[in-house]
Chains A and B, each alone.
Chain A
């Protein structure tokens, strides 16, 4: 081969490599941005659910029902979660229809990845969330850092099931992120641990395991299923199971009547002042989980879940802004430690994403 041709071929190869790197970096950065947005949307959705429960009939119930009673602690938060998820499912279905993907949605439901997505939605949605709500009631705020184990669990499961690599930076970065979440969780620790600490902690572990499984399984599923269809399956499943399975089970466990529970549901969904907030919270829940699944599939479960874990900061932040500052309720101010925890979480995410070990190696090689 003449020398000029060889030089041109090498130049082409170098240019192709540079352009490929650029594409890959763009994809990676987009994945991180999407995963971080899931944390922000999660903060908005959670704070709007809290805000909804200060409005209309919810305010009346809080005033007349016995504090610490099963109804107030278990049934009403589950009703709020069920209404939010159902409205979120309606948002997801509407967007799916607008994008002309309803046919794909129905075809996916009957397929193996679709069934896996339904199972992971049940595990992460109703089971994970209900366990967390009950754990919080039984053991107090101490369960928050335990539930924050979910990114670590998700990373371990994804490295076993899907052969996603766990480098030393991931092993270091995840505990850093968890430490940040723990700091925020412990902010509310007052020494009052609640009566059922041990079963509460066990249930918090169930929720961490559930969310870990959901994060990695659904993230993998989204590499096969269009993420819009994946999230529609998730939200519709979660709404239906919460409304038709978890609520009756909790009602029976509490010794209360199922009819009474659904009377509360009927009252809640016809209460205009709170429904407006649920419509918005449902929209942000849809966006949050869509970005979570998509982010996990684009940058791997470890990094995706670490980015999403910043919700531990965004939930109190947006609750403070919306419920505290805008709506004027006391008791939602963000403590200084939360800002410190946010910086720690950013450091943890950076360690996972940037891999300082690889940078050191490159510098040494140079």
Chain B
């Protein structure tokens, strides 16, 4: 059975050094593009909620070519272990 979208979002951070919301969406698009919650605002809110609960941390931020702020997140080794312990 396919992982729920939020699980896939968190699990993705155990496989990369850092990622922005656009990176996450690009990686998950093939499997989750049809999902109702697969929108930039909702995915971004999910990332901020995960950060608020210390599941991931902010690594850096900058402006994208359109002048929008782009926040990158990463999971430390401990956070990766936490995610892996909850989500198989």
Contacts and interface: CB of A to CB of B under 8 A. Distances in A.
Interface of A: 12-13, 15-17, 19-20, 23-24, 27, 99-101, 103-104, 106-108, 111-113, 162-164, 219-220, 222-226, 229, 297-300
A153 B10 CA distance: 28
Nearest to A228: B37
Contact of B63 (A15, A23, A100, A103): A15
B61 A223 contact: no
Given A19-B69, A111-B88, A224-B86, A297 B4 contact: no
A107 B3 contact: yes
Contacts of A24: 48
A23 B35 CA distance: 24
Contacts of B37: 99, 101, 226
Contacts of B87: 111-113, 224
A297 B47 CA distance: 12
Contact of B52 (A17, A104, A297): A297
A223 B69 contact: no
A103 B37 CA distance: 13
Nearest to A220: B53
A298 B48 CA distance: 8
Summarize B's interface: helix, strand, loop or mixed: mixed
Contacts of A23: 48, 69, 71
A23 B2 CA distance: 31
A356 to B, nearest CB: 21
A297 B36 contact: no
A261 to B, nearest CB: 37
B52 A299 contact: yes
Contacts of A163: 54
Contacts of B35: 100
Given A12-B63, A16-B63, A20-B69, A223 B5 contact: no
B55 A223 contact: yes
Nearest to B4: A104
B71 A20 contact: yes
B49 interface: yes
Given A16-B69, A19-B63, A23-B69, 20 more contacts: A12-B63, A16-B61, A16-B62, A16-B70, A19-B68, A19-B69, A20-B61, A27-B48, A99-B36, A101-B37, A103-B2, A106-B1, A107-B3, A111-B87, A112-B85, A224-B6, A224-B55, A297-B49, A298-B48, A300-B52
A39 to B, nearest CB: 20
A23 B69 CA distance: 9
Contacts of B68: 19
A19 B44 CA distance: 14
A223 B49 contact: yes
Nearest to B37: A226
A223 B85 CA distance: 15
Contacts of A225: 4, 6
Given A12-B62, A107-B3, A27 B45 contact: yes
A297 B54 CA distance: 11
Interface in B30-64: 35-37, 45, 48-50, 52-55, 61-63
